[in-house]
A and B are shown apart, each in its own frame.
Chain A
């Protein structure tokens, strides 16, 4: 019997590390660690599964993204952090690796998503995307007018 119940706890235990991680990330998001150029938090504060997150990236200076604030949706599935989250831009953006019609981030084109490690986090993803905005191949891309979002 004890084993049976301990089984329960094992199974629960799988949840626990994932949730630890996500709660940690939530706290970080609220405390604003980092340099303030990205921000993230739960999309719905009541989401006990800690699955849906919103993120924000502030466009870097001296690029065509300057002055803009990009909103994203990040989804951390049950296997996170063993598998990367799915990321989608809500604000329209022209950037390599981002699907033009729906804002989905193509995991294969974004290095940290393609070579995901479980030590990465939502913060890292956002920071990396921002870094990519400064890359030569992206920084001069003509951008849609500000304020547009993908309809989906």
Chain B
């Protein structure tokens, strides 16, 4: 059959093509059931221009070409960009032939995998009233042409992370099921999730996370009843910190255990216990049951085997601890939790205080104690990204830092410094003091450093130490 059934080969849009030549060229794979070609085209081309290239490559009339991308038919007037067609992606091609003629072409769709009609003709036998059913999709308007490629697609750069996970759909589903069943009974699962680059990229966007959480109907109920929760969710800083925390399950467990331990202290406080219990019933229960519904498991079973008591309230720790906290009133980067729990505000939150509020919880303090006793634990803690955040805020707020662990502060600092390369080493920090000491005649730098570390940079004390230990 004639190659062009009466319609001029599409040379019409030729001129436009040159105009677009200055844009970036992308390589798009054009795929038919039988064939696949890679076509280089300017990124901002129109679909019509693209088709022109395709018609040359596939030796078919431009009017016979129907392009499909991600479930939508591409109209001539659209641009590639409109549909989000980028370098490396695949567009499907259908070459329309006359009704029912053995479709042709280097690619008539016909053959799915089964009957592969090896149609011969490379030129679609055109005749099929071109303008009629081609190009403009059978009216089946798949949704109106979408808008510009959005932020979301940009985030898909991270999808390659998914591929790296090696999860084919089948495997993935297994993993997912596993996750759902064991997630909370095995906190490491949580950490695995957290390590997923896709998750991380999603989580690095607190808005997205918040949306996801909020979209859960149980959460919505919970949020209605307890506005504090939505406050918390709305605080991106808070979310981020929690994300970090969640990444390190060992740390989490540790903290939880300490909370349990600290809880016994709280029992003796008049009123405090009730407040805690209230908080528990108001908030924790529904959350747990919501979570339990999803996972059929008490998420925290491993670390609270027999603990059925309400959990401590770290934000507004009751009286005893409260005195220490309200004393601080450091409102530098985040306010400390000076709000004590009350009926209407059972969590006693000033939500932004969460990060630093944690330091003030009795649990945290006993944790600190433990840590100073066990340097190994310290190392573990320090490896969590969470710790870095904490330490940064520590560094910025020396008040809080002293608040955190007054008794063991110097020791802690030493360990912090020793264990984490990202904070200045003692040498750097004590640079000045070291110089002073050596100027005074203490030439043993090593010993000087030790002394400075031990005394937390206090030169006089360090000198005494040095004098005391040096055989003179």
Contact = CB atoms under 8 A, between A and B. Distances in A.
B213 A20 contact: no
B186 to A, nearest CB: 13
Interface residues of A: mostly helix, strand, loop or mixed? mixed
A1 B100 contact: no
B164 interface: no
A54 B143 contact: yes
B97 A35 contact: no
Contact of A14 (B91, B146, B208, B294): B294
B14 interface: no
A48 B117 CA distance: 41
Contacts of B208: 48
Interface stretch (B49-57, B308-316, B451-459, B464-472): B308-316
Contact of B294 (A8, A11, A23): A11
Nearest to A47: B152
Contact of A32 (B89, B97, B156, B242): B89
B212 interface: yes
- What DSSP secondary structure best describes chain B's contact surface? mixed
Nearest to A40: B71
A119 B177 CA distance: 10
A149 interface: yes
Contacts, number: 272
Nearest to B139: A147
B143 A44 contact: yes
A26 B158 CA distance: 13
B392 to A, nearest CB: 20
Given A8-B233, A24-B169, A81-B173, A45 B149 contact: yes
Interface string A130-152: 11001000000000001111000
Contacts of A127: 112
Interface in B234-259: 242-243, 245-246, 252, 255-256, 259
A87 interface: no
B400 to A, nearest CB: 17
B140 A39 contact: no
Contact of B138 (A16, A60, A91): A91
B284 A90 contact: no
B410 interface: no
9 contacts: A3-B256, A20-B196, A23-B162, A44-B143, A45-B146, A55-B71, A60-B114, A61-B111, A130-B112
Interface of A: 1-17, 19-21, 23-24, 26-27, 29-32, 35-37, 39-46, 48-49, 53-56, 58-62, 66-72, 78, 81, 90-91, 118-119, 121, 127, 130-131, 134, 146-149
